[in-house]
Amino acid sequence: MKKKKTIRYMILKKIGITGLLLSFGFISFAQNANDVKNHYNPLSTGVPSLLISPDARAGGMGDVGVATSPDINSQHWNPAKYAFAESVAGASLSYTPWLRKIVKDIDLVYLSGYYKFLGPQAVSMSLRYFSLGEINLTDNEGNPMGTGKPNEFSIDVAYSRQLSKHFSMAVAMRYIYSNLSAKDENYYPGHAFGADIAMYAHIPLMIPTGESLLGVGLNISNISTKISYDKGETPGIFLPANMRLGIAYTVPFDAYNKLSMSFDINKLLVPAYPQRSNYEDDESYEAAKKKYNRSSMAGIFYSFADAYDNPKNTTAKDGFMEELREINWSAGLEYSYNNQFFVRTGYSNESKWKGNRKYFTFGAGFKFTAFQLDVGYVLALAQTSPLDQTLRFGLSFDVDGLRDLVDMSERRKNK
């Protein structure tokens, strides 16, 4: 039993370290220690890499994407957008060297693609691989246990369909694998299954300078089972169920120039883990932990009211304000010239008590007939932020563009 507790401690410790490295819950060292103790309570989950923005376009626009115009990487943000994609099919490969200010061997690779058929329908898929590099393993007493190479990956498939001229929906199914590489017979890789439900409204509006486009999107992602690293002997860990709601508006200035403005709000559908300092005795703390360890589906609904059960929130207003702190928001701009050159910027904001991720982003893109190259860059407001100077790269192509290249080649041969 002692050995299993040791392994469980090590697994949880590694999950916490992983979450810190992923920056889902870091705080500026300049903040007051008492404020941190009394208010700082970020939401923690297993496999937090599922929430990392994988593509350079969204990464250059403040991590917005649920309502932006359809692109090949819509699988992560809102697969319902594929039903309105202009090309019949496409594929994309994105690469992010993650947190290079801290370590040199953490990487995220993302492959996505889609295919439209019978007009208003599409199938799509994505593969996400996240490597945490090499980590030195220890038990809870600090004794070395060798090295490991933890990694996580997920693969998903989605189906989207237009239900009307301006509205579409999609469902996605996902398999999730997490291997923390603990070298012990009592440790097992974690497996889980999840689903997404997405909606998208795509509304053209005529204005004096041409046809503008209004997009509204909603995506509830990672509605999943819990993940366990000991075959269910202890309560599983919530995965990052997430609700993203957004709006985007694209305005043409003339036949060549246009500007897109996007705004997203984001909420993790996961309850906050009870903090011992908020409870007067062990009995009430254990009762709170028991209430926390509910099913993943019950946890989704409980995430909208868990703050009211926290003893530090003495009034309904306190509980409501705590719930509002769990909502992140992002805003982004994209300027395009002739649908070939793109310049992007954005800002993402998170409460200082829920992780304190606040950063500007910048990006650019170039499209040549069938291929598009994108790059994104993060400039964090906090100097201690491990997100600062993060780069993303993406290369994508679409089938219609390839056909145009073939047709151009054939015409040249026939001249």
pLDDT (tens digit, 9 = 90+) per residue, 59-70? 999 999 999 999
* pLDDT over 50 (residue 1): no
Considering the domain 2-272+326-414, what is its CATH architecture?
Beta Barrel (2.40)
* pLDDT over 90 (residue 283): no
Percent of the chain with pLDDT over 90: 55
pLDDT, tens digit, 9 for 90 and up, residues 19-48: 544 444 444 444 555 555 556 778 889 999
DSSP state of 100: T
Asked if residues 328 and 267 have their Cβ atoms less than 8 Å apart, the reply is yes
pLDDT, tens digit, 9 for 90 and up, residues 162-192: 999 999 999 999 999 998 765 556 678 899 9
Higher local confidence (pLDDT), 211 or 284: 211
* pLDDT over 90 (residue 15): no
* pLDDT over 90 (residue 80): yes
Higher local confidence (pLDDT), 52 or 13: 52
Kindly report the average pLDDT of the chain as a whole number. Answer: 85
How many Cβ atoms are within 10 Å of 380's Cβ, its own excluded?
21
Mean pLDDT, residues 384-405: 82
Confidence band of 414 (pLDDT split at 50, 70, 90): low
Pairing between strand 89-97 and 107-117? antiparallel
Lowest mean pLDDT among 58-72, 91-105, 151-165, 236-250: 91-105
The three-class DSSP label of residue 36 is helix
Confidence band of 405 (pLDDT split at 50, 70, 90): low
HSE toward the beta carbon, residue 290, CA cutoff 13 A:
6
CA distances from 287 to 44, 284, 291, 294, 394 (A): 19, 5, 6, 12, 47
Lowest mean pLDDT among 36-40, 210-214, 318-322: 36-40
